[in-house]
Amino acid sequence: MSILLHVCCGPCLVYPARVLEGEGTDFTCYFFNPNIHPYREFKKRLTSFIDLADSRNYNYIIDRDYGLKMFLRQVVFNEEQRCRFCYEMRLGNAATLAVEKGFSGFSTTLLYSTYQNHSLIRKQAARAAELHSIPFLYHDFRVGWQQGIDESKACNLYRQSYCGCLFSEQERYDNRLKKQLKRKMKSDVQPPRSGHDQPK
């Protein structure tokens, strides 16, 4: 099987790549993340991904465009639903490209993070798979959370501390907002809290 693996960042690639290599699945990485803001952060995460991929000889395809406008046009006035749009955008693009390039399936490193909305990612991936008639390769990569952290630290990879969008950056650092959100969203589906170095 040869799949297109959507990659959200270097640290989240470490463990999934090990799993895919271990099971003999051939993969090509695809960096497409219009959700990462601001521009300097986007460049940092992209560079860290390239460093890792080059050091391990992974094949990759990169969308270098900084997709701020594309992202904002999708989520403005829908801020509460932004993660759904964000997953839909990234997984939809991965599925489209996988079909175009003749891969036999697609997957994503988003399934690695314990901070992401795993069930929503799975749902959006299934939707993209159906829409584009291409299989989605599911793995619960979260089981390797600590292994991925240890390895990414050993490689000195840049480890971000918030999810990606400007909204998540504010939620990460604005203590007053964090308290408000905690109260408001107790019964709702919470957006991802964060990055790799956020206290659990």
Residues near ligand SF4 (CB under 6 A) are 35, 82-83, 86, 163-165, 167-168, 191-192
Residue type for position 199? P
**Shortest gap between Cβ of 63 and ligand SF4 (angstroms)?**
16
For residue 16, the minimal CB distance to ligand SF4 (Å) is: 17
User: C-alpha distances in angstroms, 165 versus 42, 44, 116?
Assistant: 10, 14, 13
3-state secondary structure (DSSP) of residue 193:
coil
Nearer to ligand SF4, 73 or 101 (CB): 73
Q: Which is nearer to ligand SF4, 58 or 120 (CB)?
A: 120
E strand or H helix at 107, and its extent? strand 105-108
Nearer to ligand SF4, 34 or 103 (CB): 34
Nearest residue (CB) to ligand SF4, 95 versus 121: 121
With beta carbons less than 8 A apart as the criterion, state whether 191 and 117 touch.
yes
Q: Based on CB atoms, which residue is closest to ligand SF4, 29 or 165?
A: 165
Shortest reach from residue 71's CB to ligand SF4, in Å: 8
What is the Cα–Cα distance from 4 to 88, expressed in whole angstroms? Answer: 16
CB of 116 to ligand SF4, least distance (A): 7
| Angstrom distances, CA of residue 112 to CA of 8, 100, 129, 139, 143 | 10, 26, 19, 9, 8
For the purposes of burial, counting CB atoms within 10 Å of the CB of 135, is it exposed (0-12), middle (13-18) or buried (19 or more)?
A: middle
Cβ proximity to ligand SF4, 80 vs 151, nearer residue: 80
Please tell me the distance from the alpha carbon of residue 186 to that of residue 160, in angstroms, as a whole number. Answer: 26
In the complex, the smallest distance separating the C-beta of residue 52 from ligand SF4, rounded to whole angstroms, is 20
CB of 76 vs ligand SF4, minimal distance in Å: 12
How many residues are listed for the chain in this entry?
A: 200
